[in-house]
Chains A and B, each alone.
Chain A
Amino acid sequence: MNEEKIIDEKFGNENPFRVPDHYFDEFPQRIMKRIAQQKRRRRMIRWGIAAMMTGCIFSSAFILNNSKQQNTAFEAENNQYIEDALDYSMINNMEIATYLTEAE
Chain B
Amino acid sequence: MINEAQIITQLKDESKKEAAFNILVHEYQEVLYWQIRRLVISHDDADDVLQNTFIKAWMALDDFRAESKISTWLFRIAINESLNFLEKKKKNSDITSDAIEGLTNQLMSDPYFDGDETQILFQKAIALLPEKQKVVFNLKYFQEMKYEDMSQMLGTSIGALKASYHHAVKKITDFFQQND
Contact = CB atoms under 8 A, between A and B. Distances in A.
Interface in A1-55: 3-4, 6-7, 10-11, 13-20, 23-24, 27-28, 30-32, 34-35, 38
A24 B113 CA distance: 17
Instruction: Please tell me the size bucket of the interface on B.
Output: 35 or more
Contact of B115 (A16, A27, A31): A16
B88 interface: no
Contacts of A18: 43, 112-114
Interface of A: 3-4, 6-7, 10-11, 13-20, 23-24, 27-28, 30-32, 34-35, 38
A18, A31, A32, A38: most-surrounded residue (chain B CB, <10 A): A31
Given A34-B51, A38-B55, A28 B173 contact: no
Interface in B107-129: 112-116, 118-119, 122-123
Interface stretch (B4-12, B25-33, B153-161): B25-33
A30 B172 CA distance: 37
B176 A6 contact: yes
